[in-house]
A = this chain, B = another copy of it.
Amino acid sequence: MDEFELIDQIFHRPEGLSSQVAIGIGDDGAVINVTAGKQAVVVMDTLVADVHFLESQSASSIGHRALAVNLSDIAAMGAVPRWATLSLTLSEVNENWLNGFADGFFELAGRHEVALIGGDTTAGPLAACVTVGGEVETEGVLRRAGAQPGDFVYLSGRIGGAAAALSSAEGYADPVLHRALCWPQPRTELGSALGGIANSAVDVSDGLLADLGHVLNASGGLGADLEADSLPLFESAVALLGRRPALELALGGGDDYELCFTTPKNRHQEVLETGHRLGQELFRIGQITERGGCRILGSELDLDAVSAGYQHAWPRSKA
């Protein structure tokens, strides 16, 4: 068996294919049945060794992450994920590593009913590129544009944990922070449930200030007043680093993959009920303002410094 047969064998899992997949891996392309009346959503994200993950990380957490960051984008669009393609570039063929990667990838894919339908493997510096396709009803699409002054701003979970794990060896060793960094949980159920409730949504991959900033810009140059005391920090991060640094990491650090979304005030109850129904803790963190720019009420942080300081924190800190 040559190396490419080995790889085919590891990634060819027909049992994971839904009835939506007419032709999966093994031809020149995959063929998918589309659902009448829905739109297709497509996202793509690449992870490069020593830039988006550490080669020392467990292979299964890399496989998990490669899919998770894409599912998070699907969630931020309000869609339900259906299929994925995976392009793996490998500097060497290590069967143990490949099995670990596949375990992490397929465990998450199975939980979200996502079928791996194709891709390729090439020789070269270690990297994984994933494309995910999903479906959404037109009225359920969540855009970055759409926030309105007066809207409440929500987060789907705690933030700053991944950045805290990257900030020190103690952070990386803390099990809760390590999990936030290496095993991010995409909020796809919540994302698709928010269609018709939320005005706008984004996933927090680059940091809350940066990603909420995309929403504010796309919504016509609005602003947001966030309450420092309402920002959901990781207790471990506060215990390890102190409150102010933990708050800075929550605002400027990325990689948490929580959803940040806005809704009109009068839908607050509906938001809470949606969270309850899904068993998903939700945090109201502030309000959209007509005046542009973000303010963090109850803190004296220099937000420009916070944003600038953590841009590309993950790549540069370990590369």
Contact = CB atoms under 8 A, between A and B. Distances in A.
Contact of A45 (B36, B74, B86, B87): B87
Contacts of A230: none
Interface residues of A, number: 60
Given A32-B39, A34-B34, A38-B34, A44 B123 contact: no
Contacts of A119: 44
A203 interface: yes
B40 A40 contact: yes
Interface in A4-51: 22-23, 26-34, 36, 38-46, 48-51
A73 interface: yes
A33 B38 CA distance: 8
A42 B129 contact: no
A69 to B, nearest CB: 10
A298 interface: no
A282 interface: no
A89 B48 contact: yes
Interface in A166-214: 201-203
A29 to B, nearest CB: 4
B125 A124 contact: yes
B28 A43 contact: yes
B122 A48 contact: yes
Nearest to A133: B42
B44 A118 contact: yes
The count of identical subunits is 2
Contacts of A89: 46, 48, 127
Contacts of A76: 28-29
A127 B203 CA distance: 26
Contacts of A201: 28
Contacts of A202: 28
A125 to B, nearest CB: 4
Contact of A129 (B51, B129, B134): B129
Contact of A40 (B32, B125, B319): B32
Closest 10 pairs between A and B when the two form their complex, measured CB to CB: A48-B124, A129-B129, A28-B76, A29-B43, A125-B125, A131-B131, A44-B85, A46-B87, A29-B77, A34-B34
29 contacts: A23-B141, A27-B143, A28-B43, A28-B76, A29-B73, A29-B134, A30-B41, A30-B42, A31-B39, A31-B41, A31-B77, A31-B136, A31-B141, A32-B40, A34-B34, A34-B40, A42-B133, A44-B85, A44-B118, A44-B120, A45-B87, A46-B89, A46-B122, A46-B129, A48-B125, A49-B124, A52-B122, A124-B127, A131-B131
